[in-house]
Amino acid sequence: MGVLISCPRCGESEDLNGEQVDGDITVHCLSCDLVWLRDLKPRCDRCTSTDVRPAYEAIVSKSRGTQLSMQSARLVYLCQHCDASKLAEYQITNSPLMPNELPTE
Ligand SMILES: [Zn+2]
Ligand SMILES: [Zn+2]
* 73-104: pLDDT as tens digits: 888 889 999 999 999 999 999 889 988 777 77
Is 55 in the same domain as 105?
Answer: yes
C-alpha span between 31 and 41 (Å, rounded): 25
Enter the pTM of the model: 0.54
Q: How far is the CA of 17 from the centre of ligand 1 (A)?
A: 11
Is 77 in the same domain as 66?
Answer: yes
C-alpha span between 32 and 13 (Å, rounded): 12
Is 11 in the same domain as 58?
Answer: no
Structural domain including 75 reads 41-105
Q: What is the pLDDT of residue 22?
A: 72
Model confidence over 31-73: pLDDT tens digits?
A: 999 988 876 678 888 998 999 998 999 988 877 777 777 778 8
Is 53 in the same domain as 95?
Answer: yes
What are the strands, taking DSSP E only, across the chain?
Answer: 16-21, 24-29, 35-37, 52-62, 68-79
Q: How far is the CA of 44 from the centre of ligand 1 (A)?
A: 22
Task: Give which of 39, 44, 50 is closest to 5, Cα–Cα.
Answer: 39
